């Protein structure tokens, strides 16, 4: 009987820890979305949290993303790493293996890599020599995620690490960074295909530091390159060059108009909503579809009448239905059922939009 009660008590404890960890991640997600002073908010949560909750809070901070807010968050974590706080080296059991290791330090390194930039390399490098393989592994991973070529010599040195996992991770990121270095070089290639491919490679690798080059390529002579640069800026969620992107909504090449509209939607460039609305009547079906998607990302209710008109435009009717569903929060899908539902709704509500 006592064994059963002990098992029940253990189960309840695990549920409690999971709930608290999920709450910590939820609070981290709120940091990403909120407008509160980030340093103050993190300090408040940090003061209230247990070591395990701090781990979840730090891991959850990756939702800050690679933008100004993310960089501030990474700088906060860098300061925590350099502070020598006792919690950083607390040995915390980590499921599923239930091993114990300095999970908070490891989590901080990982998240810095996820949301930081090359300016934080010097913060990470000292941990490559830590006696604990888990810490070295996290530092190697973080350096690789930062994606700065300056990390290459440090990763090469870890190919001689005593731990196989560290060596393997260093090899993976070293190969990736060498390819990124080649992609950066290709941005200046005389071959437009290589310039366009480089834009995509840098976006896929989340190379936010390339934003200046990408903005410059919005004026490239090749339409494929202009489109790729616009797409990359949108994918990276870099709210830079939005005025230049807005100018591309009138580009003579349909693929450029498509990419620019989508990028502006992803960047939540609300000021571009009227111009994107005009593209809902573009002669190119792909542009109309992209404009519908962008209008939905911008939650542009003024686009509803134009989107309703597209419900009778077979190439993009499903796109229009899905866009209306997002704006109106009805959940209509990009499928025939969604189109029929949107048509029925419009028949009932069209007078409200006159």
CA atoms of 83 and 88, how far apart (whole Å): 9
3-state helix, strand, coil in the chain (%, to 5): 80, 0, 20
Mind listing the pLDDT tens digit for each residue in 299-316? Answer: 999 999 999 999 999 999
pLDDT tens digits in sequence order for the chain, 354 residues long: 444 333 333 333 333 333 443 444 444 444 444 445 666 666 666 666 777 777 787 777 777 766 666 777 778 888 877 776 666 666 665 555 555 667 888 888 888 888 777 778 888 999 999 998 989 999 999 998 887 888 899 999 999 999 999 999 999 999 888 888 888 889 999 999 999 999 998 887 777 778 788 999 999 999 999 999 999 999 887 666 788 899 999 999 999 999 999 999 998 899 999 999 999 999 999 999 999 999 999 999 999 999 999 999 999 999 999 999 999 999 899 999 999 999 999 999 988 876
Whether 138 and 109 have beta carbons less than 8 Å apart is answered as: yes
Domains of the chain: 15-161 (1.25.10.10), 300-354 (no CATH)
Mind listing the pLDDT tens digit for each residue in 38-59? Answer: 666 666 666 667 777 777 877 7
Return the exposure string of 246-258: e unless at least 16 CB atoms fall within 10 Å of the residue's CB, then b.
Answer: bebbebeebbbbb
Sequential DSSP letters for 51-79? HHHHHHHHHHGGGG-SSHHHHHHHHHHHH
* pTM given for the model: 0.67
Mind listing the pLDDT tens digit for each residue in 197-235? Answer: 999 988 877 777 787 889 999 999 999 999 999 999 998
Peptide bond into 142 cis (omega under 30): no
Instruction: Look at residue 198 in the predicted model and tell me its pLDDT.
Output: 92
Beta strands in the chain (DSSP E): 91-94, 99-102
Mind listing the pLDDT tens digit for each residue in 157-171? Answer: 999 999 999 999 999
For 59, residues 6+ apart whose C-beta sits below 8 A from its C-beta are 25, 28, 107, 110, 111
């Amino acid at each position: 009987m006592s064994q059963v009660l002990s098992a029940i008590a253990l189960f309840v404890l695990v549920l409690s820890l999971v709930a608290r960890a999920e709450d910590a991640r939820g609070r981290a997600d709120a940091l990403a979305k909120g407008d509160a002073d980030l340093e103050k908010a993190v300090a408040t949560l940090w003061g209230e949290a247990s070591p395990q909750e701090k781990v979840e809070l730090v891991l959850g901070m990756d939702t800050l993303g690679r933008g100004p807010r993310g960089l501030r968050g990474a700088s906060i974590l860098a300061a925590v790493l350099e502070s020598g706080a006792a919690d950083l080296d607390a040995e915390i059991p980590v499921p599923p293996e239930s091993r114990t290791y300095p999970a908070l330090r490891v989590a901080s390194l990982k998240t810095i890599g996820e949301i930081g930039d090359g300016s934080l390399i010097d913060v990470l490098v000292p941990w490559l020599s830590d006696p604990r393989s888990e810490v070295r592994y996290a530092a190697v991973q973080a350096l690789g995620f930062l994606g700065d070529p300056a990390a290459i010599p440090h990763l090469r040195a870890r190919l001689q690490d005593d731990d196989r996992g560290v060596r393997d991770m260093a090899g993976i990121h070293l190969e990736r960074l060498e390819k990124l270095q080649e992609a950066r070089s290709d941005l200046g290639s005389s071959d437009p295909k290589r310039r366009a491919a480089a834009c995509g490679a840098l976006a896929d690798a989340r190379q936010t530091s390339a934003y200046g080059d990408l903005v410059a390529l919005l004026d490239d002579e090749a339409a494929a390159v202009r489109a790729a640069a616009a797409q990359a800026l949108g994918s990276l969620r870099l709210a830079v060059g939005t005025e230049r992107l807005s100018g591309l909504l009138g580009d003579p090449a349909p693929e450029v108009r498509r990419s620019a509209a989508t990028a502006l939607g992803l960047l939540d460039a609300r000021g571009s909503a009227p111009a994107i609305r005009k593209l809902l009547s573009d002669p190119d079906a792909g542009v109309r579809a992209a404009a519908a998607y962008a209008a939905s990302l911008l939650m542009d209710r003024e686009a509803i009448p134009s989107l309703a008109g597209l419900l009778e435009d077979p190439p993009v009717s499903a796109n229009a239905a899905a866009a209306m569903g997002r704006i109106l929060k009805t959940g209509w899908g990009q499928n025939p059922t969604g189109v029929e539902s949107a048509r029925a709704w419009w028949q009932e509500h069209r007078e409200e939009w006159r």
